Chains A and B, each alone.
Chain A
Amino acid sequence: MGTSATAVRESFQTEDLSIFYGTYEAVKGISLPFAENTVTALIGPSGCGKSTFLRSLNRMNDEISGSTTKGSIWIDGVDINASGTDVIKLRQKIGMVWQKPNPFYKSIYDNIAFGPKYHGVKGKKALDEIVESSLRKAALWDEVKDRLKDSALALSGGQQQRLCIARALSVNPQILLLDEPASALDPVSTGKVEELIKELKEELRIVIVTHNMQQAARISDYTAYFYLGSLVEYDKTDKVFTNPENQMTQEYIMGRFG
């Protein structure tokens, strides 16, 4: 494990985080920091626990019966994995976007306004502003501004995914979790989403799970390589991709393994 993982205590980091499905340990005691204004890529072969790890960060695994999470997830000095955490409030701080675009069966406008409405934003004007700014941040505004009342399902796959990112941004999160956000998209849409990720990191931290090595190299600042539920290597992306410490990491990145 990279030594830098626990050396500096970040305001957002995991500490000895283990996740069980029943008795099966899917994630084994992982400590990872997520620095401000950075993109951290989680890579590794399928089933290595990276998605499970990502889902634990906003307590999404709570929704899966039989899963238990041990260890700590620190955000601004608070362990959000401890009991008594207000999961609803927590999830406003941590947005999430999935592999398959999953807009609600509502209009484009209502997709974005959905979250803010529940967090006390009142009045059409305030909502209008949030919708516009979220769509602008997701670089979708110009494409949809004339048809905000249209069904979100009428958008293309790439647009839907950017809509989902805009929806996640609508509640003003500090952290954005992306679970293979571009793997179901064509190269042009993928490029747009990657562009977007680079811009968004100016405002928040991003944790991204990806199977695309080039993508990880292109957009991330830090890379963590997972294998069989354990963290094999964690370091600056440049370092991991040019001069990895671990033989396994190198082989995976070169495509000889996994």
Chain B
Amino acid sequence: MKLKNSRIEKHHIEDFVGRTYMSFCVLLLITIIVSMVYFVASKGISTFTSGDVSVTDFLFGTKWSPEADTPSFGAFPFITGSFLVTLLAALIASPLSLCAALFMTEIVPGWGKKLLQPVIELLAGIPSVVYGFIGLSVIVPFLRNNLPGQGIGVAAGALVLSVMILPTITSVAADALASLPQNLKESSYALGATRWQTISRVIIPTTFPAIMTGIVLGMARAFGEALAVQMVIGNAPFVPKSLFESASTLTSVITLGMGNTTMGSAHNNALWSMALVLMLMTFVFVFFVRLLERRNKI
């Protein structure tokens, strides 16, 4: 058998075709992403380059009246709204998710996992409009009847979001817990530690970066969620003074406003600027996840 051969064989062609196809797909993907980022960034920046609004007025201005005679584009209420519902949702969902993940992996790994796994996958698969609808017909009336305010508002938005990000945090945390070396737990048990001591002092601290990764991913989802929040938050363009007051988020303002503005108008550009803020925040979330993953490896 001759191993040195200048002839082109079948396996050479296969290899070549495969590599070309893969390279093409990757290039296409990169091109799409880069052009999307470029598009959003160029549209978003045009608000400031056209001289309509300054960056500080946009980020910290509290007055949003795009259709007035002297329009003002202060997005601060929406930025606060977005952060507020996101943080609240994470605060509500994180402990619940952690407990669910611990239940699945540590407390009752047998039927606990069999029962919870499909439930969590189901929760992740429900469309956001359904969440919003349930929020509108269950949570909002409940809040209206039991607490001050109209029911719609920050609290309702945060509650709906917390259910929506529950599966994200739970599944990331459960994966992290399940990947712990078995004998790490055992060496804690072997020292006479109880299950609770083992969970609180060994298991959680060891998987902490991964759990945080899950929380950040959940927050990223909450931050970007539009429809469900828009249905229950009330969409008032003000910085809310209480959790039971109507407010808006960046996403809800974009979805509500996009259809009613003309391309190139100051109002439309301002919406793009908000989209840019959302995108930058997503980058920040991704950056945090990377950072946590690197810490996780040590």
A and B are partners in one complex rather than unrelated chains: yes
Show the binding face of A for B, using Cβ within 8 Å. 58, 60, 63, 65, 88-92, 94-96, 98, 100, 102, 104-106, 114-115, 118-119, 151, 153, 164, 167-168, 170-171
Bound Cα distance A60, B186 (Å): 7
B253 interface residue per 8 A CB criterion: no
Interface stretch of the complex, out of B39-47, B97-105, B143-151, B200-208: B200-208
**Cβ of B197 and Cβ of A118 under 8 Å apart?**
yes
Within 8 A of A (CB), among B29-68: none
Bound Cα distance A104, B190 (Å): 13
Residues on the A chain within 8 Å of B183, using CB? 98, 100, 102
Q: How far is the CB of B183 from chain A (nearest CB, A)?
A: 5
Question: Interface 1/0s, chain B 183-210, versus A by CB < 8 A?
Answer: 1111111111110010001100110000
B259 interface residue per 8 A CB criterion: no
**Cβ of B191 and Cβ of A170 under 8 Å apart?**
yes
B181 interface residue per 8 A CB criterion: yes
Return 25 A-B CB contacts under 8 Å, by A number.
A60-B186, A63-B185, A65-B109, A65-B110, A91-B191, A91-B192, A95-B190, A96-B186, A96-B190, A98-B186, A100-B181, A104-B184, A104-B187, A104-B202, A105-B206, A114-B188, A114-B201, A115-B192, A118-B193, A118-B194, A151-B298, A167-B191, A168-B190, A170-B191, A171-B192
B207's closest neighbor in chain A, by CB? A105
Residues on the A chain within 8 Å of B187, using CB? 96, 98, 102, 104, 164, 167
Contact of B191 among A63, A65, A92 (CB under 8 A): A92
Q: How far is the CB of A188 from chain B (nearest CB, A)?
A: 24
Bound Cα distance A115, B189 (Å): 9
**Cβ of B298 and Cβ of A153 under 8 Å apart?**
yes
Bound Cα distance A118, B191 (Å): 9
Bound Cα distance A168, B192 (Å): 10
Q: Is the interface of B mostly helix, strand, loop or mixed?
A: helix
**Cβ of A114 and Cβ of B193 under 8 Å apart?**
yes
**Cβ of A89 and Cβ of B192 under 8 Å apart?**
yes
Residues on the B chain within 8 Å of A65, using CB? 109-110
Residues on the B chain within 8 Å of A89, using CB? 192
Question: Interface 1/0s, chain B 268-297, versus A by CB < 8 A?
Answer: 000000000000000000000000000000
A114's closest neighbor in chain B, by CB? B191
Q: How far is the CB of A171 from chain B (nearest CB, A)?
A: 6
Bound Cα distance A89, B191 (Å): 9
Assuming the A-B contacts A104-B202, A114-B201, are A63 and B189 also in contact, with contact meaning beta carbons closer than 8 angstroms in the complex?
yes
Q: How far is the CB of A96 from chain B (nearest CB, A)?
A: 4
Bound Cα distance A13, B236 (Å): 75
Residues on the B chain within 8 Å of A88, using CB? 192-194
Q: A91-B189, A91-B190, A118-B193 are in contact. List 19 more A-B contacts (CB 8 A).
A: A60-B186, A63-B189, A65-B109, A88-B193, A89-B192, A92-B192, A95-B191, A96-B186, A98-B186, A100-B181, A100-B183, A102-B181, A102-B184, A104-B184, A114-B202, A118-B194, A119-B192, A171-B191, A171-B192
Q: How far is the CB of A118 from chain B (nearest CB, A)?
A: 5
A-B pairs with lowest CB-CB distance, top 3 = A115-B191, A92-B192, A96-B190
Task: Give the most central of A88, A92, A95: most B CB within 10 Å.
Answer: A88
Q: How far is the CB of A204 from chain B (nearest CB, A)?
A: 15
Q: How far is the CB of B283 from chain A (nearest CB, A)?
A: 29
Bound Cα distance A105, B202 (Å): 8
Within 8 A of A (CB), among B17-33: none
Residues on the B chain within 8 Å of A91, using CB? 189-192
Bound Cα distance A58, B185 (Å): 14
Bound Cα distance A91, B194 (Å): 10
Residues on the A chain within 8 Å of B202, using CB? 104, 114
